Amino acid sequence: MQFRSKLMTSFLSIFFFYSFANAQFAPIAGQPGSTAIYKDSSILVAWATQCVVERGLVDISQPSLGTASAGSVAGTLGMAGDGFTLSLGDGGQATLTFEHPIQNGPGADFVVFENAFNATFLELAFVEVSSDGQNFVRFPAISNTDTSVQIGGFGNLDATRLYNFAGKYRANYGTPFDLQELAADSAILNLSAISHVRIVDAVGCIQDAYATRDSRGIKVNDPWSTPFPSSGFDLDAIGVIHQNTTIAIQKIPTPMVSIFPNPVRQGAPITVEISTHNTGDYTFSLYNLQGQLILELPPNTQKIPTQNLPKGAYLLKIQTATQHLTKQLIVY
């Protein structure tokens, strides 16, 4: 009986993995079953009012080319479809806030817009939310795109193989996100008061050193490389469907962080300077793009050694008394 139970468990595990790996998700805008929401939809009741951005490189494998530069934070504020966007670059991120928090309601609660010029040239991003500006939870994204061959810089994606990625739909059609999917994270999220939405470019490179992965650990394959000023995910806007008008979001000043050199040559130390006004002590933790802890440093460290770090991209998490910040580091 015990053997049979284990056999059945193994069978079910294989079945569910196969099902997810071959799942067909919602199709492109305009087709039956699509979840795309048009920018002028009456269900959109508010838009982002503030944005803080950390640009990524135009090509994460060639740091000398610099960071993405097209657009500005102003392009992410207000309604979608105004012709202005913000390019994030490889692994870049933008954190947006609102006049009132987003809250969990029936169905989708907010919508993210990109500026793809057609239904198949799609640039993807992960979506994370927070109710305190410090602890962020990522929506469980799934990419069933084949990873055996790199999609080129002007290649195409099939929307039916993508789930919970911003950028799934073309310009003027937003991708919806339902906070109910994060109910299991209620210990660190107040689903009635989501104050921050973070958009993180999914580096579409399938090389191990630079790849980002979906919620199952599968590499994300999207158009790469795009060594242009408009590299990476192009954020247009975030529209709100359900908001909590009983709460006004209080802005917490963000400490100024300076990291140099970045990108850094392997073996050279990185210097980190952070304004500690009203922040007190701070600590550093270094992670790879798969979320694995690589290095922990003593409080208030100013030098990060790199001689034992393989070449690639990393996330430096900075914990202050009031905030949790994330910065991208490149070792080449």
pLDDT tens for residues 278-324?
556 778 888 887 678 888 888 888 888 898 888 888 888 887 766 66
Domains and CATH numbers, the chain: 22-240 (2.60.120), 257-331 (2.60.40.1930)
Three-state SS annotation for the chain:
CHHHHHHHHHHHHHHHHHHHHCCCCCCCCCCCCCCCEECCCCCCCEECCEEEEECCECCCCCHHHCECCCECHHHHCCCCCCCCCEECCECCEEEEEEEEEECCCCCCCEEEEECCCCCCCCCCEEEEEECCCCCCEECCCEECCCCCCCCCCCCCCCHHHEECCECCCCCCEEEEECHHHHHHHCCCCCCCCEEEEEEEECCCCCCCCCCCECCCCCECCCCCCCCCCCCCCEEEEEEECCECCCCCCCCCCCCCEEEECCCECCCCCEEEEECCCCCCCCEEEEEECCCCEEEEECCCCCEECCCCCCCEEEEEEEECCCCEEEEEEEEC
Quick one: pLDDT at residue 4?
46
Q: What is the mean pLDDT of residues 3-8?
A: 44
Per-residue pLDDT band at 276 (split at 50, 70, 90): low
Instruction: Write down the pTM of the prediction.
Output: 0.80
pLDDT over 70 at 21, yes or no = no
Whole-number percent of the chain with pLDDT over 90 = 64
26-30, 73-77, 135-139, 313-317: segment of lowest average pLDDT = 313-317
Count other C-beta atoms under 10 Å from residue 220's C-beta.
Answer: 24
Burial annotation 18-34 (CB, 10 A radius, 16+ → b, else e):
eeeeeeebbbbbeeeeb
Per-residue pLDDT band at 253 (split at 50, 70, 90): low
Quick one: pLDDT at residue 214?
98
pLDDT over 50 at 12, yes or no = no
Quick one: pLDDT at residue 252?
53
Quick one: pLDDT at residue 261?
86
Report CA dihedral (257, 262, 267, 271) to the nearest 10 degrees.
-20
pLDDT digits (tens, 9 = 90+) for 124-178: 999 999 999 889 999 999 999 999 999 999 999 999 999 999 999 999 999 999 9
Per-residue pLDDT band at 275 (split at 50, 70, 90): low
Quick one: pLDDT at residue 280?
65
